[in-house]
Amino acid sequence: MSNFAKKLFLLTKNTMKLKDISLYLLTLASLVAIMWSCATASSPGGGPQDSLPPICIDADPMPYSVNFKGKRAVLTFNEYVKLKDQSKLFFLAPTYEKRPLLTIKGKSIVVDFQMPLDSNTTHTLDFGASIVDNNEGNQMDNFVLPFSTGSYVDSLIMAGQTLNAYTRDTIIGGFVQFFDPSSDSLKLDSVMLKARAEVISRTDSSGYFVASTLQEKPYRIYAYQDNNGNQRYEPGTDLIALTEGNKNPVDQEGFSMIYDSLERRWQMTSVPLTLELFKEDPPRKQTLGETKRPQRQQLYITFNAPQATIDTLEFEGIDSSWIQREWDQNRDSLTVWITPPTIEDIEKLQDTIKARLAYQKQDSVWKYYTHSQDIQFTHKIEITAEEKKVLELKRKQELKEAKEKEKKASKKNKKKKKKVEKVKPLSKCKIKRLKRKGLWPPKDSLQLDSLKLDSLGGNTPKIDSLASDSIPPKNPFKVNVAASTKFMPLNDIIFKFEYPLREILIDSIKLSVITPKMVKGRAVQDDKGTAAPQEFEMVKDSLNSKVWILKAPWKVDSKYEILIPANTFTNIALQRNDTLQSSFTVESPSKYGSVEMNFKQDSLYEGNYIIQFIKLGNKSDVADRELIIDNKATKLTVKYLPEETFRIRIIRDANSNKRWDTGDIRTRKEPEKVRVYENQGVNTILSKPNWEVVVDLDLPELFN
């Protein structure tokens, strides 16, 4: 049957009431008869290329037929056909351990059932878009054949839409599966991995699904996006969704579908059921992951699952008072900083540090127990790219100087050789007399011999290796300052250090605001202006000990200078900074767009909300701006938005951990809810310079 016929069947069934069963069956039978009787084959008589999909002109069993007892189904078409991606697109519902075997015979597709079909059960052969004609490849879309091995066909309907829980994009070609609730009693595994789906539906290009062969009973409903095409849910790879509780078709609200001729797709006017798909974190047993030593005073330990518990961590030969621990937000990785009090103690640190670790590990049945093991951390000194560059330049310079020296020596040798050749050779008798007197060989001859050796390269300096102490001394202290000449005071000035700091001389830092000299109301460009001290504060980041933030009451369109003298910062490696100096101007928000957000809050909600601005066309879907409000905020002004089109995504941060948390089907935990701001059908806002957009958000209504 065509996609249109299927939608028409479903629309007809959805508009009925239970008391109209007989009228519905009569209407459905008439539609089937019309659709199939009109599908007569005819031979082409020339003309344009065929652009029509194949038409099924006969089938055994026929659609919606009953009391089927056969072991195979045969579908005959008006032309030769072939199958495309049948392993991904074709399925039989209910599912069986062995999939049916599909073969092509002439103009027919033969479906051989590899296992006996359940009695008194409604079945569905869903070919999706796997059937195409043999010549032009025109495909049939959503070709479905329902039939029953009993005396009636189950015909209740449930419909809805599938969305990505985080991005809110529709899920195309996903599977929606209906299970008997009695099979949903697994603990560490899920019904999706072991149980058998009774009814399966597929989502269309708008993410809609319509399951039309349901019984009057509650179902546990799951949906998943089959990313690898094996028609099996794989945790950590496929997206998954589940309903809260069981759903009975007779309890679902009515719906209607309208075909949009402009967009050429069906639209559901009201969505009775929405399934929000998420990628769950696959279950992982708690074990030790990786141990490494990225820096001499930094040790790093990772675990395979979050919320790791360490009972004992003792380091061999290191004073326990030197140890600082820092867990990440998931508590699945631990950074250990070693902070000896003196340079001598730091230099005494071994290249390999040994430790004894005892932590809570999980066995084969996921039970925790205390596990102890020896671990070690080795630090290898590696030359940085910058140091390699300095070495290479030094080598080239040494090579150049050596070649020049060799060239000069060669010229000098040639001159001396010519001078020697002008001397008249001595006779053998005179040489003998000179030897007896100890006057032979002459000193000039020795010098000549040595010069000849030099010319052969015997005394050429070696440049294959360069001692490390020949590199100009470089301050090992490293800091990255997140500030530019055009400064937008959104996050103030952020300092990211290589090591945590041991000490900051706050009073040494000089932040000044510059007042330009004015002449007739205009600033003199060449004048440096007058510097006035500006108050500020340095705050350590709550999640990262290597990050510090300089905060100040910034004034727009004002110029600032910051001076950080040498030795202001001292890190745990007892390294100190060189002088840091910079000037910058605070940008005016009038050059950017702004959004005034007004909130209506839920008085019973106790969590936070995360407000994200995402540029339209941002393929990574990473927020370009993110802000957090609590459950009492009524207004938020967002400034310094560039001239762009944005989507506004709102995350209901129920546990107030300042991030979106995914779901877990093992515990039937749904993901934190996400919504996208929409006003009169438009889900974007336009940011323009000196332009303010007002956004009113009724949060209880948005998340209802």
For residue 424, which phi and psi values (nearest 5 degrees)?
Answer: -70, 130
| Alpha-carbon gap, residue 370 to 384, rounded angstroms | 41
> Residue 473, Cβ neighbours under 10 Å: how many?
6
Q: How confident is the model at residue 472 (pLDDT cuts 50, 70, 90)?
A: low
Place of tokens 């603990």: 187
**Structure confidence by residue, pLDDT tens digits, 489-507:** 887 999 999 999 999 999 9
Q: What is the pLDDT at residue 229?
A: 87
- Burial of residue 185 (CB within 10 Å: 0-12, 13-18, 19+) is exposed
What DSSP state is assigned to residue 552?
-
Residue 217 has pLDDT above 70, yes or no: yes
Of 52 and 517, more confident? 52
- Burial of residue 178 (CB within 10 Å: 0-12, 13-18, 19+) is buried
Helix H, strand E, coil C: the string for 136-158 is: CCCECCCEEEEEECCCCCCCEEE
Q: Quick one: fold of 288-378?
A: Immunoglobulin-like (2.60.40)
**Structure confidence by residue, pLDDT tens digits, 159-183:** 999 999 999 999 999 999 999 988 7
Q: What is the pLDDT at residue 224?
A: 95
Percentage of the residues of the chain whose pLDDT score is greater than 90: 60
Q: What is the pLDDT at residue 523?
A: 62
Q: For the chain, what's the residue count?
A: 704
C-alpha distances (whole Å) from 419 to each of 423, 425, 441, 444, 540 are 7, 13, 17, 11, 78
Q: What is the pLDDT at residue 668?
A: 83
What average pLDDT does range 463-471 have in this prediction? 38
Check if 155-279 and 479-587 are the same fold: yes
Residue 46 has pLDDT above 90, yes or no: no
Q: How confident is the model at residue 299 (pLDDT cuts 50, 70, 90)?
A: very high
Rg for the chain, CA atoms, rounded: 40
Residue 50 has pLDDT above 60, yes or no: yes
Place of tokens 């000299």: 517
Q: Which residues face 533 on adjacent strands?
A: 512
Q: How confident is the model at residue 451 (pLDDT cuts 50, 70, 90)?
A: very low
> Residue 13, Cβ neighbours under 10 Å: how many?
18
Most confident of 15-19, 29-33, 136-140, 386-390: 136-140
Bond from prior residue into 341 cis (ω within 30 degrees of 0): no
Q: Which of 346-350, 379-383, 606-610 has the lowest mean pLDDT?
A: 379-383
Q: What is the pLDDT at residue 384?
A: 65
Q: Quick one: fold of 479-587?
A: Immunoglobulin-like (2.60.40)
**Structure confidence by residue, pLDDT tens digits, 376-435:** 999 876 666 676 777 778 778 888 888 888 888 777 776 666 655 555 566 767 666 766
CA 422 to chain centre: 83
Handedness of CA 652, 656, 659, 661 (dihedral sign): negative
The edge-to-edge listing of strands for the beta sheet with 486-487 is: 486-487, 580-586, 559-564, 510-515, 530-533
Q: How confident is the model at residue 645 (pLDDT cuts 50, 70, 90)?
A: very high
Residue 347 has pLDDT above 50, yes or no: yes
Q: What is the pLDDT at residue 439?
A: 67
Position 128, amino acid: G
> Residue 475, Cβ neighbours under 10 Å: how many?
10
Query: Please, which residues have CB within 8 angstroms of residue 388's CB and are 6 or more apart in sequence?
Result: none
**Structure confidence by residue, pLDDT tens digits, 324-345:** 999 998 999 999 999 999 999 9
Which residue in 147, 165, 163 sits closest to 155, CA to CA? 147
Residue 633 has pLDDT above 90, yes or no: yes
Q: Which of 90-104, 107-121, 232-246, 358-372 has the lowest mean pLDDT?
A: 232-246
Which residue in 275, 140, 130, 125 sits closest to 203, CA to CA? 275
Tokens of 687: 């940011």
Percentage of the residues of the chain whose pLDDT score is greater than 70: 81
Dihedral angle at the C-alpha atoms of 239, 243, 247, 253, nearest 10 degrees?
-90
Of 608 and 465, more confident? 608
Q: What is the pLDDT at residue 527?
A: 60
Q: What is the pLDDT at residue 483?
A: 62
What DSSP state is assigned to residue 659?
S
Q: What is the pLDDT at residue 409?
A: 78
According to DSSP, the β-strands at 239-242 and 257-260 are: unpaired
Q: Quick one: fold of 155-279?
A: Immunoglobulin-like (2.60.40)
**Whole-number mean pLDDT of the chain?**
84
Q: What is the pLDDT at residue 459?
A: 33
Angle between helix axes 21-37 and 3-14 (nearest 10 degrees) is 170
Of 387 and 248, more confident? 248
Query: Residue-wise over 240-251: b if at least 16 C-beta within 10 A, else e?
Result: bbbbeeebebee
pTM of the model: 0.74
CATH number for the domain whose boundaries are 50-153: 2.60.40.1220
| Alpha-carbon gap, residue 537 to 506, rounded angstroms | 8
Q: What is the pLDDT at residue 26?
A: 35
Domain range list for the chain? 50-153, 155-279, 288-378, 479-587, 591-702
What DSSP state is assigned to residue 366?
S
Query: Does CATH place domain 591-702 in 2.60.40?
Result: yes
Query: Please, which residues have CB within 8 angstroms of residue 365's CB and are 6 or more apart in sequence?
Result: none
Contact 369, 287 (CB under 8 A): no
- Burial of residue 516 (CB within 10 Å: 0-12, 13-18, 19+) is middle
The maximal CA–CA distance of the chain, rounded, in angstroms, is 144
What average pLDDT does range 362-367 have in this prediction? 92
Dihedral angle at the C-alpha atoms of 258, 260, 266, 269, nearest 10 degrees?
-40
Q: What is the pLDDT at residue 187?
A: 54
Query: Please, which residues have CB within 8 angstroms of residue 462's CB and are 6 or more apart in sequence?
Result: none
Q: Which of 128-137, 369-378, 442-451, 604-613 has the lowest mean pLDDT?
A: 442-451
**Structure confidence by residue, pLDDT tens digits, 525-580:** 656 778 899 999 999 998 899 999 999 999 998 999 999 999 999 999 999 999 99
C-alpha distances (whole Å) from 613 to each of 163, 434, 616, 626 are 20, 100, 9, 6
Q: Which of 406-410, 478-482, 640-644 has the lowest mean pLDDT?
A: 406-410
Residue 137 has pLDDT above 80, yes or no: yes
